[in-house]
Amino acid sequence: MMRIRSAVLDAVTDTRPYSASSPLSVRELEISSPGPGRVLVRIEAAGLCHSDLSVVNGDRVRPLPMALGHEAAGVVVEVGAGVDDVPVGAHVVLVYVPSCGECAYCAAGQPALCEKGAASNGAGELLGGGRAIQGTEGQLVHHHLGVSAFSEFSVVDRSSVVVVGDDVPFAVAALLGCAMATGYGAVARTAGVRRGQSVAVFGLGGVGLSAVIAAQAVGAGPIIAVDPVAQKQDLARELGATHAVSPGEATELLSALLGGGVEWAFEAVGSTAVLAQAFAATCRGGTTVAMGLPHPSAQLTIPALPIVAEARTVKGSYMGSTRPQIDIPAMVELWRGGRLPVEKLITADLPLDRINDALESLADGSAVRQIIRPQRAA
């Protein structure tokens, strides 16, 4: 057993500002040595993602208390029995869906849909069951998506790490695990967007902007970025969007530009109203790809006729349909070639003790990706 500092959510709250209500308690936990098939990682950088906020405000129901955080990178400091392909000292990206390698989804090359991974994530446990963390008096604390990244150290399943080169900065590596895996994966894997195809991205947070970067990387165009926040529109243009507009301007732009709609519309907000707008923005034969997580009670209302009469598709994308062990190294290669400028998404770099301030900046829409540094003194 070792003592670590970790950010724990004890109860759901939507009392704002979060910088005052402090939903996350940074406190000591105990962490055990990695058991068979698991590794101990020193977390060097963790991104704050909208999915973390969704757990805090109750949009995404998770067992509590929970040590939050699911987008991170770090260094392997110890490996459990049977782990022979991840050396101590390796730099790793953490992956928020562990995969068993044996279920029908894993066998079909869809580890993001792993049945056992989904079950352990839902239970707040590690793959294979049980937990490696607890309170200092033995209290129950759940893992978040098998990662719990807002912690000095984390014990995770072998399948929750992907080894990357030491040349990749930890903050960049962290973003490859969620924002870029989701955004790049949706464009390159779920959709398979080709050169010259038209793309619209609705919602310009970390995931949406990652989709813009990916659309540029695969040679799509025009690339239309949609968000109410002017600074995010500016950033989208810098990252390769040919046009960036507010939601109210999108329809007019699309008809002026394309006479109809785009071949691919990506939704990164998790709003059914925005998803319906994305669907309306597609052309005949076009596809809407849903990346944002809506509230579990949300129902989508879209006109049914165009699905048949115009052969339009609505498609879900979880973790960008990525195969982490293959696609994250591929993303690293693209980053090395300057084609995935992930670092441009980072708007703040903060010690763990500032996590509630970071939560507020995410909730008020002013931040894109904020990096939390569990190893840095406040």
User: Contact between 103 and Zn ion (CB under 5 A)?
Assistant: yes
Near Zn ion in 310-369, by CB under 5 A: none
State the binding string over 222-261 for Zn ion (x if CB under 5 A, else -). Answer: ----------------------------------------
Beta strand ranges found along 305-345 (DSSP E): 313-316
Q: How far is the CB of 85 from Zn ion (least distance, A)?
A: 18
C-alpha gyration radius of the chain:
20
Q: Which two tokens stand for residue 349?
A: 């770099």
CA distance 30 to 146: 16
**What residues between 60 and 89 interact with Zn ion by CB under 5 A?**
71
Q: Are 289 and 317 in contact (CB under 8 A)?
A: yes
CA 187, CA 241: separation in Å to the nearest integer?
14
Residue whose CB is less far from Zn ion, 205 or 222: 205
The smaller minimum CB distance to Zn ion, of residues 93 and 283, is found at 93
56 binds Zn ion (CB under 5 A): no
Residues of this chain, 171-200, that bind Zn ion according to CB under 5 A: 178
CA distance 250 to 265: 12
- CA separation for the pair 120, 101 (Å, rounded): 14
The stretch near Zn ion (CB under 5 A) out of 7-15, 92-100, 214-222, 353-361 is 92-100
Q: Is 39 in the site for Zn ion (CB under 5 A)?
A: no
d(C-alpha 322, C-alpha 34), whole Å: 26
Q: Using CA atoms, how far apart are residues 101 and 98, in angstroms rounded to an integer?
A: 9
Q: Specify the residue, 120 or 287, whose C-beta has the smaller distance to Zn ion.
A: 120
Report the nearest approach of Zn ion to the CB of residue 68 (Å): 11
- Is residue 287 close enough to count as binding Zn ion by CB under 5 A? no
Candidates 8-16, 27-35, 50-58, 226-234 — which segment interacts with Zn ion by CB under 5 A?
Answer: 50-58
DSSP for 340-376 reads --GGGGEEEEEEGGGHHHHHHHHHTT--SEEEEETTS
Lookup: tokens for 302: 């879209």
Binding site for Zn ion (CB under 5 A): 49, 51, 71, 99-100, 103, 106, 114, 178
